[in-house]
Amino acid sequence: MKRFAVVPAVLCCLSVFNCFSAYAEDTENTEIVEIVENIEDIENTENIETSGNIEVSAKAAVVISADTGEIIYSHNSGEKLPMASTTKIMSVLITLESGGLDVPFVVDSDAIRVEGSSMGLQEGDTVTKYALCCGMLLPSGNDAANAAAVAVAGSIEKFADMMNKRAQELGLSKTYFVTPSGLEGTGHGSSAEDMAVLAAEALKNKTFREICSSETIKLEFGNPPFPRWLKNTNKLLSLYSGTYGVKTGFTDEAGRCLVSACCRDGKNLVCVTLNDPNDWNDHMNLYDFCFSRVESVTPDIPQDLQLNLAGSYNDKISVTAGGVIAGITTTENNCSDLTYTVSAPPFVYAPVSVGDELAELIISLDGKEIRRIPLYATENAEYKPAEEKKKKSIADKFISKVKDIFNGKDKDSENDC
């Protein structure tokens, strides 16, 4: 049954085994220098599908709906394990949310002195937060993660505190961060399920999604900045159609870790494997297995939505979601359990033009928010001048007075009688 309400809005990380490649283009020399640390492709291992299930090589694995968080497949998905450079999903999300992404600054010299994979930062280099996010998600730069941590929080330790606070807000009960890069520290770890929830949240950020879905990105940084190319370590982007993220990881302790996202026929899934020697194949097989077990259903958007209007000739204004509403990936072929809430200010103030974004429609499942859809004005609302308001107010008072007299409610008229 559809429920609808309107409320006010206050409402890691050594990447040797991850095929790390970075490209640098020197402005004085057009020759492109390619740094590649190759690995031998792991031979395919047979994945057996029996009794409606599938076997994987991972120590832990999970597949969830990117929209609702429903678990489609699970194997030890609640066990806390080291997750290597997939840690950088949280580091990038916090960096993106900190703002000022295109403001140039000089990297902290101490922060970039770190082992493992790198985006190629050197002392004195000028970068932006956006470039560091690319450096974290594509070549899995530990130098980028540390530099971003210092730029955002002032220190790696304070940044880790921000990561853990965000993890608590998302309900990631098995997750604890010590470093922004994923290099192990005491207690640093997460579960496959927690990492899937984190990835789904990060993918709501448009910039995050654009970066992690790119196989290569051209940036400018250095001293002085010059153009160079970064290449994504995520081979699944080219191996499996529909893949649009997310992050690879490897350390000796964590093994091969992979967080991916894929869209097929309007269905969006997130897959996580931890400590998996056959991660590329496992992810492809898990997607083949899970896409057939979910549906993409269209939300039943409420019609005739209206908001309170002030400063115009009417006291209400109509709004609509407009455009094509993307389907919601779910295990159930219906939307009967979805609830809809309008998030809007107490009043919308005139003037308003058709197409102005005035509010949001929040779609929830079992009390959990799963999507926000902008609501746009379907009509114009002109501003009513103060003089008109005053005249109308006097007229209204006169009419009200007359009504009171005829209804016997006027005290003065009673005394006259």
Q: How confident is the model over 324-350, as pLDDT tens digits?
A: 888 999 987 656 788 999 999 999 999
pLDDT of residue 212 exceeding 80, the answer is: yes
Residues 6+ apart with CB under 8 A from 17: 39, 250, 256
3-state helix, strand, coil in the chain (%, to 5): 25, 30, 40
Higher pLDDT pick, 112 / 12? 112
Q: What percent of the chain clears pLDDT 90, i.e. is strictly above it?
A: 72
Sheet with 216-222, edge to edge strand ranges: 32-36, 21-25, 225-231, 216-222, 126-127, 105-106
Please give the domain boundaries of the chain with CATH numbers for all domains. 16-36+56-293 (3.40.710.10), 305-377 (2.60.410.10)
Higher pLDDT pick, 368 / 221? 221
E strands of 133-254, at which residues? 216-222, 225-231, 243-251
CB–CB of 21/233 below 8 Å? yes
* Rounded (5°) CA angle 65-71-72: 80
CB–CB of 272/81 below 8 Å? no
Q: What is the pLDDT of residue 337?
A: 80
pTM of the model: 0.78
Tokens of 401: 């007075």
Q: What is the pLDDT of residue 366?
A: 83
Give the separation between CA 191 and CA 325, rounded to whole angstroms. 32
The DSSP letter of residue 107 is P
